[in-house]
Amino acid sequence: MTEDTNPARYKAKALALCQKMLRINTGVILAAFALIIILTTVSTAEWVRATGKALYYVIVLQALASVGTWYYRTRLEKALAVVEGDSSHGDH
């Protein structure tokens, strides 16, 4: 098989991408929390409330994306375990 059609290699690359996405999502969530705290400490103006609300929705969307990515990654790990012949991660 060539490198591009090897299922184990493809799934390993997909797992690495999932991990990268989870790290990015975590960073965005933490940055949004920090910005909300900083902005509300500095001011209570209307633009701060609107920005805080927008950042709240960013946090919610990132959390949902993280859950989806996590679920996909766990399914991919199980499939990779089956391809590699490791039954410790597969369905029993």
pLDDT in tens, 25-69: 999 999 999 999 999 999 999 999 999 999 999 999 999 999 999
Neighbours of 72 (CB within 10 A): 14
Alpha-helical runs (H) found in 43-88: 46-84
| Spatial contact of 8 and 84, defined as CB atoms under 8 Å apart | yes
Whether the model clears a pTM of 0.85, i.e. scores above it, the answer is no
Q: At 69, phi and psi to the nearest 5?
A: -65, -40
Name the 3-class secondary structure at 85: coil
Cα–Cα distances in angstroms (integers) from residue 23 to residues 2, 28, 29, 58, 80, in the given order: 30, 9, 10, 15, 21
